[in-house]
Amino acid sequence: MLEKEVTKVRLRIVDLIKSFYVSQPDAEKLSRWRGTFNALAKENVGDAFDSQVAAIRSCLQRKSLEELQEEYYKLFTDPFTDKGLQTSASFYLSGRSHGKTLVDIRSLLMEAGIERNEDTIDTEDSLVVMLDIYARLIEEETLADTGGDVQSYQEQLLRRFMLPFADSLLKSAQENTFADFYTLCCQFFCCYLQMEKELMGVAA
């Protein structure tokens, strides 16, 4: 596969993962997810990835929109639940929100020359913003004068923050027996990050 095509695929998968968490699913999003996973099911990427695709595709076929919305609400919106998922890397990696992890990510972004969008409400260590940052680094990798440096920043963001964050998020999701769809989403997230790790040759 050509380098530009690989970049497009990576960006599409990152955007797909972001769509799980950025907002509550609606009819349009559910239709898009079903179409996307039906298409991915026809590909042969690798055993682990293909298995995750099949699991999510099956779940999307049997789950109603209302059931998915209820899952999302309980995990990410309900202010009175103790079953919710924290989407801040600092919460898991530093033990509290707005911890050292946030400081370290901001330092990495400053070094990479990436400025936070003024319209962005969430902090730089939030799941959705980190995915946006990662997508930005993938896009910048195609620029001839920044390729090597950008790959280094990608590697740091992936190894130091995103991989351990995704693993902790998955463990938290697995504690909620009602959250079968979003547990699969977290598994898919972890699986894809492992593929990114292999693509970049990131050491353990």
For residue 121, what pLDDT is reported? 84
- R_g of the chain, CA atoms, integer Å: 17
Q: Is 122 left (phi over 0), alpha (psi -120 to 50) or beta?
A: beta
Fold type of domain 3-200 = TorD-like (1.10.3480)
Structure tokens at 34: 């079903």
Q: Is residue 49 within 8 Å of residue 195, measured between CB atoms? A: yes
- Distance (Å) of CA 190 to CA 16, 31, 184: 13, 23, 10
Chunk the chain into consecutive blocks of 10 residues (it has 204) and report each block's average pLDDT, rounded to whole numbers. Answer: 80 97 97 97 93 98 97 93 88 89 94 81 92 92 67 92 96 93 98 92 60
Please report the DSSP string for 108-157 in residue order: HHHHHTPPPPTT--S-TTBHHHHHHHHHHHHHHTTSTTTHHHHHHHHHHI
For residue 1, what pLDDT is reported? 54
For residue 80, what pLDDT is reported? 84
Structure tokens at 98: 């707005």
For residue 201, what pLDDT is reported? 72
Q: For residues 82 and 84, what is the distance between their CA atoms, to the nearest angstrom? A: 6
DSSP state of 3: H
Q: Is residue 74 within 8 Å of residue 81, measured between CB atoms? A: yes
